[in-house]
Amino acid sequence: SYKLTQPPSVSVSPGQTASITCSGDNLGETFVSWYQKKSGQSPVLVMYQDSKRPSGIPGRFSGSNSGNTATLTISGTQAFDEADYYCQTWATSTVVFGGGTKVTVL
Amino acid sequence: EVQLLESGGGLVQPGGSLRLSCVASGFPFSNYAMTWVRQAPGKGLEWVSAITGNGRITFYADSVKGRFTISRDNSKNTLFLQMNGLRVEDTAVYYCAKEAYSERPDYVDYWGQGALVTVSS
């Protein structure tokens, strides 16, 4: 079955840039979405179709996808951005989530 | 405003059954595929199942195939997940989610608040 691999954790200082990677075979040939999940809350879509931001998501969130790696970038990271982030794609007639990356703003 | 309201969660013994419901409002329900996603305690998001807008095509994760059945009643704007043969490892918060398109899962643009399912003896 298809697998998406994310680093378990990423640490970033306030105001700096956090990059979260998501790797999978030929991932660049399909669309990737990203979700933010805070403890006790429902997930929130922060990026879809690789690089499109939903309404209400700040411009400091951006995305890319090429080759075997998709990346979610948070520029000027704020304490409010501390959360788990999950990538997701559609492959072999199933939805696949990455294992999630915990972003800590130190 | 899109709203997704799950119900039917609870405590069940291993091998038992439970049926989750999700009442949708604020959008033309039959025009969109719907999805169930779960999160076990301390674990990541796991996709469970999806159904097309017209209800004719269903999709399942290998972990639930043959035990869970997804369905929808477009006349009542309601999504269901019938869970049979429940296992301890099915313990999770189950989220009802609206897909962006009708024909198949792509990305989720709205999520419910979640329903807790606990499988324990």
Q: In the structure, what pLDDT confidence band is assigned to residue B102 with cuts at 50, 70 and 90?
A: confident
Taking CA–CA distances from B94, the nearest residue in chain A reads: A42
Rounded CA-CA distance A31/B100 in Å is 13
Q: Which positions 76-105 of B are in contact with A (Cβ < 8 Å)?
A: 95, 100, 104-105
Question: What pLDDT digit, counting tens, does each position of A29-81 carry?
Answer: 999 999 999 999 999 999 999 999 999 999 999 999 999 999 999 999 999 99
Q: Would you give the DSSP letter of residue A52?
A: B
CA distance A1 to A83: 27
What tokens does B101 get?
A: 């398109």
Q: Is there a contact between A96 and B47 if contact means CB atoms under 8 Å apart?
A: yes
CA-wise closest residue to B71 among B103, B36, B45, B99: B36
Which residues of A fall below an 8 Å CB-CB distance to B? Answer: 1, 31, 33, 35, 37, 42-45, 48-49, 54, 84, 86, 88, 90, 93-100
- CA A58, A61, A65, A69 torsion: positive or negative? negative
pLDDT band at B40 (very low <50, low <70, confident <90, very high): very high
User: What are the CA-CA distances from residue A91 to residues A35, A104, B116 (Å)?
Assistant: 18, 30, 28
- Helix, strand or coil for residue B29? helix
